[in-house]
């Protein structure tokens, strides 16, 4: 980002991080919250938390590719800084981010990119300013809209059960492979809901001796196990449909109008629940059912159409439709499994989230001089956060302990944080990569294949 021409009006803002190859280590870099994208140099804002190197020059900015993450608690302007917005981020929000307004403000700029930039900037600033109040707002929101979300969850479960019964009846009465495939998909939706409910309740039962950090990761494991079951069912559907396709046309039962009407009614109920859940999509439970309803509407409508066309016109379209549905189910659940496997492996958090943690940390207490390191990584659905802060070495232990403990509790109050670990240090000259190395290492020099082959070649050349 570009500094202002008037250095006396320089304002601090926010910093973000870019994840390194190790998900536990990230480097803080200034995030642009006021600079126009791509070639608009007429507007420049000074908006970054000063990030300084571990050197004598405190004004030397760190932009990227550094092992030690250092964000300093820059100087404040008492006339403009408030408790709710200590870094004056609200002044960077734009009330109107429409393309029409972008065309007025920046006639030569790319309207789509400008709208995207300012919308993202507004969202990021809102996240920062509301970060200290996320826990309370979540409780109030749950009290206000909790009953509506429960209606979405229980109503969706009831519609899923109704759809499965109707699909099973239609498949048995007609013998359509496409309807059997959709019935299998509806059944697995019911099993999925039951598995998620069981694992969710199990994860909330504390067992501090057997599971000291909780059992929340069992939800992710349950999803992965269910994905394995779904892929097995999808493969079986594909195999059976391929056999029917290879066997050729047979004496199948003619389609009856009553089962098809029932399937149409079930799809209508699904569509109604999809609209209801869409209105509540900002809640995770409602969003999951919204996506489930959307997929079921597409899959079941496709299966119904293929079964009708296969019965009336071309026989092989019915098993072909079942194969396509099976492949869709297979690809969908395989991608879901891989997505959750990375959560257990410890995938790093996105830079926007780490940026929010840095903001919460640097504005928590004036006695925090710098944020030395910030790491955030998945341990299941939520994040584990590690923060190293720099404080004055002459401060009493009681003060540093209390500041670190309150900061830990504050970070754990963020919506996506499972646990937080705060480490207080008095200097930032050390190399963070050296902190977790083993005390004793074997002096075994391992050769790569390149070294082995190059050594062999040199030996042969020397012999010649």
Structure confidence by residue, pLDDT tens digits, 255-267:
667 777 877 887 8
**Exposure on the CB side of residue 108, measured as CA atoms within 13 A:** 6
Q: How far apart are CA 154 and CA 52, in angstroms?
A: 52
CB 191 within 8 Å of CB 229 = yes
Range with top average pLDDT, 7-16, 53-62, 162-171, 416-425: 416-425
Q: What is the DSSP letter of 18?
A: E
Q: How does pLDDT run across 341-376, given as a tens digit for each residue? A: 898 888 999 998 998 999 899 889 899 999 998 999
CB 367 within 8 Å of CB 390 = no
Instruction: Transcribe 227-274 into DSSP letters.
Output: HHHHHHHHHHHHHHHHHHHHH----PPPP-HHHHHHHHHHHHHHHHHH
Other C-beta atoms within 10 Å of 248: how many?
Answer: 8
- pLDDT, residue 95, reads 80
* Beta-strand relationship, 383-391 and 417-425: parallel
Same domain, 280 and 399: no
Same domain, 152 and 288: yes
- In total, how many domains does the chain have? 2
- pLDDT, residue 72, reads 54
- pLDDT, residue 427, reads 86
Q: In the structure, what pLDDT confidence band is assigned to residue 456 with cuts at 50, 70 and 90?
A: low
- pLDDT, residue 83, reads 60
- pLDDT, residue 404, reads 94
Q: How far apart are CA 368 and CA 312, in angstroms?
A: 75
- pLDDT, residue 398, reads 94
CB-based contacts of 307, cutoff 8 Å, min separation 6: 174, 176, 177, 178, 179, 255, 318, 321
Question: Does residue 90 lie in a domain region?
Answer: no
- pLDDT, residue 393, reads 92
From 311, 345, 379, give the residue that closes a domain.
Answer: 345
Q: Tell me phi and psi for residue 118, to 5 degrees.
A: -70, -30
Which of 3, 33, 35, 34 has its CA nearest to residue 15? 33
- pLDDT, residue 458, reads 53
CB 227 within 8 Å of CB 392 = no
Using the predicted structure, report yes or no on whether residue 387 has a pLDDT greater than 80.
Answer: yes
Sheet holding 417-425, edge to edge: 71-72, 368-378, 383-391, 417-425
Question: Does residue 60 lie in a domain region?
Answer: no
Same domain, 303 and 241: yes
Question: Rg of the Cα trace of the chain?
Answer: 29
Using the predicted structure, report yes or no on whether residue 156 has a pLDDT greater than 90.
Answer: no
pLDDT mean over 245-253: 67
pLDDT mean over 106-124: 82
Using the predicted structure, report yes or no on whether residue 335 has a pLDDT greater than 60.
Answer: yes
Range of the domain at 222: 144-345
Take residue 395 and report the two structure tokens written for it: 């401060």
**pLDDT top residue among 450 and 20:** 450
From 310, 345, 380, give the residue that closes a domain.
Answer: 345
Question: Does residue 310 lie in a domain region?
Answer: yes
Q: How does pLDDT run across 28-80, given as a tens digit for each residue? A: 433 444 444 443 433 333 333 333 333 333 333 333 333 334 455 554 443 34
Same domain, 421 and 339: no
């Amino acid at each position: 980002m570009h500094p202002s021409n008037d250095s006396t009006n320089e304002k601090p803002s926010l910093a973000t991080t870019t994840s390194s190859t190790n998900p536990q280590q990230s480097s803080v870099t200034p995030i642009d919250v006021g600079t126009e994208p791509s070639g608009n140099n007429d507007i420049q804002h000074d908006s970054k938390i000063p990030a300084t190197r571990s050197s004598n020059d405190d004004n030397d900015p760190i932009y990227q590719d550094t092992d030690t993450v250092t964000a300093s608690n820059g100087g404040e302007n008492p006339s403009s800084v408030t408790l709710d917005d200590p870094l004056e981020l609200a002044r960077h929000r734009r009330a109107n981010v429409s393309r029409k307004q972008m065309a007025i403000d920046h006639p030569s700029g790319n309207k789509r990119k400008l709208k995207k930039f300012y919308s993202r900037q507004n969202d990021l600033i809102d996240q920062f300013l509301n970060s200290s109040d996320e826990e309370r707002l979540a409780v109030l929101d749950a009290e206000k809209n909790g009953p509506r979300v429960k209606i979405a969850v229980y109503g969706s479960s009831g519609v899923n059960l109704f759809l499965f019964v109707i699909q099973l009846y239609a498949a048995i009465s007609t013998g359509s492979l496409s309807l059997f495939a959709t019935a299998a998909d509806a059944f697995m939706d019911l099993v999925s809901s039951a598995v998620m409910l069981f694992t969710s309740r199990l994860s909330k039962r504390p067992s501090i001796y057997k599971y000291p950090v909780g059992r929340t990761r069992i939800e992710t494991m349950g999803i992965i196990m269910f994905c394995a079951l779904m892929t097995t069912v999808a493969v079986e559907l594909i195999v059976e449909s391929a056999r029917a396709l290879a066997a050729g046309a047979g004496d199948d039962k003619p389609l009856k109008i009553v089962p098809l009407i029932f399937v149409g009614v079930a799809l209508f109920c699904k569509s109604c629940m999809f609209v209801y859940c869409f209105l509540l999509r900002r809640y995770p439970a409602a969003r999951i059912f919204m996506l489930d309803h959307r997929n079921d509407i597409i899959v079941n409508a496709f299966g119904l159409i293929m079964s009708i066309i296969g019965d009336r016109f071309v026989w092989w379209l019915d098993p072909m439709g079942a194969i396509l549905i099976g492949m869709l189910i297979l690809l969908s659940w395989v991608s879901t499994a891989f997505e959750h496997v990375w959560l257990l492996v410890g995938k790093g958090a996105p830079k926007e989230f780490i940026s929010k943690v840095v903001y919460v940390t640097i504005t928590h207490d004036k006695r925090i001089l710098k944020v030395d390191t910030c790491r955030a990584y998945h341990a299941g659905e939520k994040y584990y956060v590690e923060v190293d802060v720099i404080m004055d070495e002459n401060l009493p232990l009681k003060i540093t302990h209390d500041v670190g403990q309150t900061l830990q509790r504050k970070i754990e109050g963020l919506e996506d944080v499972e646990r937080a670990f705060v480490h207080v240090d008095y200097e930032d000259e050390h190399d963070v990569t050296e902190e977790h190395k083993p005390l004793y290492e074997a002096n075994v020099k391992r050769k790569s294949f390149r070294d082995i082959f190059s050594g062999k070649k040199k030996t042969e050349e020397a012999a010649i």
